[in-house]
Chains A and B, each alone.
Chain A
Amino acid sequence: MTERVRRLRAESLSEVPRISAERASLLTDFYLSDTCAGLPVPEQRAMAFSYILENKTVYIGAGELIAGEKGPAPKAVPTYPELCCHSFEDLRVLDSREKIPYRVPPEVFRIYGEKIIPFWQGRTIREEILSSMTSSWLDAYNAGVFTEFMEQRSPGHTVLDDKIYNRGFADFITQAESRLGLECDQLKQAELRAMIISMKAVIRFAERHGEKALVLAEAQTDKVRASELRRIASTCFHVPRNAPRTFAEALQYYWFVHLGITLELNPWDSFCPGKLDQHLFPFFSAETDAGTLTRDSAFELLECFWIKFNNQPAPPKVGVTAAESSTYTDFTQINLGGVTPDGLDGVNEVTFLLLDVIEEMRLLQPSSSIQVSTLNPDSFVLRAAEIIRTGFGQPSVFNTEMVIAEMLRQGKTLADARMGGTSGCVETGAFGRENYSLTGYFNLTKILEIALHRGFDRRTGKQLGPSIEGFNSYDELFSGFASQLQHFIEVKIEGNRKIEELYSRYMPAPFLSCMIDDCIDKGLDYHSGGARYDTSYIQGVGLGTITDSLSSLKTHVFDEKTISMDEMLLILKSDFQGEERTRQLFLNHTPRYGNDDDAADSIMKSVFMTFFNAVDGIPNTRGGYYRINMLPTTCHVYFGSVTGATPDGRHAGKPLSEGISPVQGADRKGPTAVLCSAAKLDHSLTGGTLLNQRFTPEILSSDEGMSKLVHLIRAYFRMGGHHIQFNVIDSETLERARKHPEEFRDLIVRVAGYSDYFCDLSSALQSEIISRTAHGEL
């Protein structure tokens, strides 16, 4: 690490996240000025975007090699009041809560009070969404049957491909202009004009950084720094207008695109450069050959680039409670390895360079993944495993062949599938050409609870689903569950459709649209079906808990008849009070998922297929389709908190199982049995599954242990697994960290699809992670 990087990294780590009212204020000024009155919405949005970029603070920090910040300075987080407007109470909670606080300066309170709240209250998308939902939607939402992603953040879950590395914006503008010349439809004309405005805005935004760099260079007494600043200036005058010529220009170009897209709206999940090793390799190789770049200088540039991501905490939510868990992570996931678009081994020298960067930076953001293909060398997987062993949950590990198979099943071309990868936590997508949005988590276990009560939710006291009679057999019970599931999927999707339409009508994203094929060619916005592929995901949560619960019902109520259904419901209602012995029976004498036991795994498969059949292939309003994936982020904790005791022996309110991992502690036959169970699910039917495994550091302390980890990964992928990730840490350390957070401030653990500081997690989540089975503990 150079001195410069050491300092920038330390600053990024110590800087306290705080709310900046700059974007909100500029946006409000723009709409108050009425300059856009009467114009079509896309042009209004593009002009507002342009106004923000023209007037926001330009930041180039001391010693930085990559210019530009989303806020006026690192970790100063912009807000998006057009989507959701923070109330005074929200700001107070964010400012004062113990975990994941966002400091709110008095100035921000003042601006919010004087200008932002008065203007936006009553006009936000969030209010529009919540007021247009039906009572069945609202009841199910409040009961914790599902969550809704788009009430606070815009769709925009996508990743960039290679298009910016050989084309400049001038070229994209020409493309849009010639398309505009042929267009008769007024709405499309407006959209294309909006795209052109937004691209020009980003070019201008870059030039403002160039101007600032020149001013700083003039005032700079240190000649070396002055010359760096002049180089930054010439880069900012060159990209994004033109295609990048150098490694440094390629990184800076991407960064301006990143800032543009995350300032236009706050898309889920944070946009990212995708296959960065493959994109950068041509620049790296040409420049190192020519002698204009050394490995060390490329390394330093990449580390400066890494720190820029860490400077951007996730936009804080509204309507938050002090207790609610949250994260600063915004789910950027840079892909390494995998295959090239023509199907060859994608690992190159930059891949290893980036792995070195990941290891040395040890930052939450950006997160990273390796895409493991059978074509990739073991040296690549082993190098990644060495980093995994250091115990901060990065990089996560994906199966390239399965990711491609998933995309082919969804109807993508082979070339587009190979250009794709994974993003967010584990979600599959065709980079640069797909709109794939997570729309909400879906509480499978809660639905079983509702089915057991014939459509009634005990917690909210409401009849939420159809009142289906009869539990005379296990099959009858299961079909009751399937009917409830079908019902709630319909409710969820009906709501989603309205939300999709609201975004299409009121919140177009013309700049994002320029970056995703084929929005320009179609003259259609990203939110209106412009992308070549369009996928809406619903994410199933609690697969392990529902499997074990159904298995327990089947075993004890129907097969062995040791307990009647009525008794079971009473025991659950009492949360096993005075029934510890029965709870032990459920826990220890039930076939449970994660032990390679077909009796349990076949139930897992039927739950999964029921969910798949209820969702997959339903059209969305953008010409695409609904699909499923299996990931929870932290939602298994929230969903657990609204779900009563379950027949698997879980106490009321406790977290559900996460991803496709077994119930915490239910897997007793070691990691291979877990992987065999998980591989029985047909991963190709999903857009991603999430499997967490915990290992003790001891087991990976030798080279032999490391190579066995690589074999474990390769074997799971050979069996068709999508993803696996590891926490390498012993329970004792976690317990100590829980008791003495001050000594473990920098302890990073894998949560589910992302890593976070252990001490920043809610105590429920901390306990959940500790309770996961640790392989290697004796």
Chain B
Amino acid sequence: MKNLGLIFDIKRFSIHDGPGIRTTVFFKGCPLSCAWCHNPESISAEPLDVFHPSLCIKCGRCSEGCFSGARETVGRWISAPELLAEIEKDIPFYMESGGGVTFSGGEPLLQHAFLREILSLCADRGISTAVDTSGYASWNSFESILEFPDLILFDVKHIDPVKHLEYTEVDNRLILSNLSKLISSGCNVIVRVLVAKGFNDDRKSLDDIASYLERFKKLKRVEPVKCHAYASVKYTDLGLDPGDFVPSEKSMDLFKDILSARGLEGG
């Protein structure tokens, strides 16, 4: 049977997910349920029907098909060669900028067989690849893809396992152990730390993260990422409370200072 992957978006001219101009492919399905998740519709590992009230023209003919985009199925199955064709479209931009493709999610490693297949196709075409992961996946699945990506973008959210569990619904020990293994296996890793208000924007949490990361001599770069409020409409569309996780600029600056005091390149 043909191996299909479930994705929910392909974003071209993505410029915050690795070097150069990139295409980011968002895999659907995620083991975490972060309270601030920017793509709540991506968490379930199957296609999901969503409704966007702002696009509805109230024609009353939903059953005949929606044309305005108000009713939408998030997630589609795609084969690796089809996905490659989409990725290849921006090759001139990757070449010019030193960019490539980033596989993000959701959690791409949930679909590690498909991920391995598309990574391998990209490698054959000379397209540079990155994998953006929550880190919450079996080490076996990491191992199965490790020969391919030029870069791993690895999320570290909190060092305190209790707090991590409370806000993401998973324990962080697997994540931290995977990070350690990845770095010692010689992978090119950038750690990204999403700073969210009330979760990890206090001095102690940020300090703990920095001091934890400091031990990895081979880790070159830690990128603070500010939690934003762009996703709030998605929550209201899903009938959920978006909460307020946007940290202050002061917390972001504090974190940058903490990182640079420990000799970790930030920014």
Q: Which A residues are within 8 Å of any B CB, using their own CB?
A: 580-582, 584-585, 588-589, 596, 669-673, 676, 699, 704-705, 707-708, 711-712, 714-715, 718-719, 775, 778
Contacts and interface: CB of A to CB of B under 8 A. Distances in A.
Nearest to A579: B59
Interface in B54-70: 57, 59, 61, 67-69
Residue among A705, A715, A718, A775 with max Cβ neighbours from chain B (10 Å)? A715
A589 B12 CA distance: 20
Contacts of B67: 581-582, 584-585, 588-589
B90 A672 contact: yes
Nearest to B228: A778
Contact of B13 (A670, A704, A718, A778): A670
B93 interface: yes
Contacts of B89: 596, 672-673, 676
A85 to B, nearest CB: 52
A584 B20 contact: no
A778 B96 CA distance: 25
Interface string B32-69: 00000000000000000000000001010100000111
A669 B57 contact: no
A513 B57 CA distance: 61
A719 B96 CA distance: 11
A581 B57 contact: yes
Given A581-B57, A719-B92, A711 B69 contact: no
A707 B59 CA distance: 46
A714 B97 CA distance: 9
B93 A580 contact: no
21 contacts: A580-B57, A581-B67, A584-B67, A584-B69, A588-B67, A588-B69, A671-B13, A672-B12, A672-B89, A673-B12, A673-B89, A704-B15, A707-B97, A711-B20, A712-B21, A712-B96, A712-B97, A715-B92, A715-B93, A775-B13, A778-B230
A679 to B, nearest CB: 8
Nearest to A777: B230
CB-based closest 5 A-B pairs: A711-B97, A584-B67, A670-B13, A715-B96, A584-B68
A563 B93 CA distance: 40
Q: Is the interface of B mostly helix, strand, loop or mixed?
A: loop
B50 to A, nearest CB: 15
Contacts of A699: 15
B95 A715 contact: yes
B96 A670 contact: no
Interface string B108-137: 000000000000000000000000000000
Contacts of A778: 230
A672 B21 CA distance: 9
Interface in B222-247: 230
B57 A715 contact: no
B220 interface: no
A676 B12 CA distance: 11
A708 B97 contact: yes
B11 interface: yes
A7 B68 CA distance: 55
B250 to A, nearest CB: 19
A778 B228 CA distance: 11
A109 to B, nearest CB: 54
B151 to A, nearest CB: 15
A708 B59 contact: no
Given A588-B68, A672-B90, A718-B92, A581 B15 contact: no
Given A584-B69, A672-B12, 18 more contacts: A580-B57, A581-B67, A581-B68, A584-B57, A589-B67, A596-B89, A670-B13, A673-B13, A676-B89, A699-B15, A704-B15, A705-B15, A712-B96, A712-B97, A715-B21, A715-B92, A715-B95, A718-B92
Interface of B: 11-13, 15, 20-21, 57, 59, 61, 67-69, 89-90, 92-93, 95-97, 99, 230
A126 B90 CA distance: 50
A411 B155 CA distance: 58
Contacts of A669: 12
A376 to B, nearest CB: 14
A580 B12 contact: no
Contacts of A711: 20-21, 93, 96-97, 99
B12 A712 contact: no
Nearest to B68: A584
Contacts of A580: 57, 59
Contacts of B99: 711
B253 to A, nearest CB: 16
Nearest to B58: A580
A25 B89 CA distance: 62
Nearest to A671: B13
Contact of A714 (B12, B90, B96, B230): B96
A584 B11 CA distance: 23
A146 to B, nearest CB: 35
A257 to B, nearest CB: 40
A704 B97 CA distance: 11
B15 A708 contact: yes
Contact of B11 (A582, A670, A715): A670
B265 to A, nearest CB: 14
Contacts of B15: 699, 704-705, 708
B97 A670 contact: no
A670 B15 CA distance: 11
Contacts of B57: 580-581, 584
Contacts of B95: 715
Contacts of A707: 97
A584 B20 CA distance: 36
B12 A670 contact: yes
A596 B87 CA distance: 12
Nearest to B20: A711
Given A711-B20, A711-B93, A719-B92, A581 B59 contact: yes
B21 A708 contact: yes
A705 B230 CA distance: 20
Contact of B61 (A581, A596, A670, A715): A581
B127 to A, nearest CB: 14
A596 B21 CA distance: 17
Nearest to B96: A715
A676 B90 CA distance: 8
Nearest to B57: A580
A582 B65 CA distance: 11
B186 to A, nearest CB: 26
B211 to A, nearest CB: 28
Contacts of B11: 670
A444 to B, nearest CB: 27
A693 to B, nearest CB: 11
B124 to A, nearest CB: 22
Given A580-B59, A581-B61, A584-B57, A672 B93 contact: yes
Contacts of A671: 13
A143 B20 CA distance: 49
B247 to A, nearest CB: 17
A657 to B, nearest CB: 20
Contacts of A584: 57, 67-69
A670 B11 CA distance: 8
B26 to A, nearest CB: 14
B71 to A, nearest CB: 12
A708 B90 contact: no
A506 to B, nearest CB: 51
A509 B95 CA distance: 50
A712 B93 CA distance: 7
B68 to A, nearest CB: 4
Contacts of A704: 15
Nearest to A717: B96
Given A581-B57, A715-B97, A672 B13 contact: yes
A707 B96 CA distance: 11
A288 B225 CA distance: 49
A191 to B, nearest CB: 50
Contacts of A714: 96
Nearest to B38: A778
A175 B46 CA distance: 81
